Chains A and B, each alone.
Chain A
C-alpha cells in the first residue's frame, strides 16, 4: 500500500481556508485517496474521497494533480470545531484493500 506523508501540525485562524497536503509518491493505479477527521477519543470520520482532479462535497474539497502523487484537502472557512487530526489514506476502495492503514495525521489547531 502507498505510504503517505503529511505535515505533523498546522495552525489556522477561524474563518480562514486551510489546505493540508498529503504526499503519496508510490500510489497505485487502482488506489483512491480518502481523508478522515478524528476528534480526541472518537472514531475517525470520513470527509472525502477522490481518484483524480477535483472532488467537492458540503464540507471540503479534494484536489488531486494529474500525476496523483499528492493530494490536497481544502477546508473552507474553518471554525474552532474543525480542530482535529486529519488523516490521508491511500488504497483500493475500502473493502477490497483490507489493510487500510493510517499514517501520521495532521493536527489542525484553529484559534480565534
Chain B
C-alpha cells in the first residue's frame, strides 16, 4: 500500500541558507501535518493543512512557512536556517472521511542538518 512520501530524506545546509521539504500524502488523504523532532526529543507539532487551507499552527518559527497544493502535497519552507533547526521533520497524513479510524500515517522523515 502507498505510504506517505517525504523528500529529501537527508539534507545538509549552512547557517542562513534556505531549505524546502516536500511531503506527498497517501492518495485521497486531504489532511497533512508537519512535526519537528530534535535529537532525543519528542515530536513537536508545527502546522497542519486541510483541503489546501492552513488548519492549525503550533510551534512553527516565523522563518518557516508551509502550504498544501492542489494535488494535496505539502511543502515546508525554512529560511535563515539556524543550528537549532537541525532535526528530523515528519509529515503525516489523514483522511477526514475516515474519521472513525483516527489514525495518522507518518512518513519516514527528512533529516535536516545545519552546519
Contact = CB atoms under 8 A, between A and B. Distances in A.
Query: Are A and B subunits of one complex?
Result: yes
Given A95-B50, A95-B95, A46 B104 contact: yes
A42 B56 contact: no
B88 A41 contact: yes
Contacts of B58: 99, 101
B106 A94 contact: no
Interface in B8-64: 31, 33, 35, 42-45, 48, 50, 55-58
B76 to A, nearest CB: 15
A94 B33 CA distance: 10
Contact of A102 (B42, B57, B108): B42
- What bracket does the count of chain A residues touching chain B fall in? 20 to 34
B108 A42 contact: yes
A103 B106 CA distance: 17
Interface residues of B, number: 32
Contacts of B109: 41-43
A44 to B, nearest CB: 5
Given A41-B88, A41-B111, A95-B96, A102 B102 contact: no
A44 B102 contact: no
B103 interface: yes
Which applies to chain A's interface (DSSP): helix, strand, loop or mixed?
loop
A24 to B, nearest CB: 15
Contacts of B96: 95-96
A96 B104 CA distance: 12
A96 B96 CA distance: 8
18 contacts: A34-B102, A38-B43, A41-B88, A42-B108, A43-B106, A43-B107, A44-B90, A46-B103, A46-B105, A87-B42, A93-B102, A94-B31, A94-B104, A95-B31, A95-B50, A98-B33, A99-B48, A102-B44
Given A87-B43, A95-B50, 14 more contacts: A32-B102, A42-B109, A43-B90, A43-B92, A49-B102, A93-B99, A94-B103, A95-B31, A95-B94, A98-B48, A98-B55, A99-B45, A99-B56, A99-B57
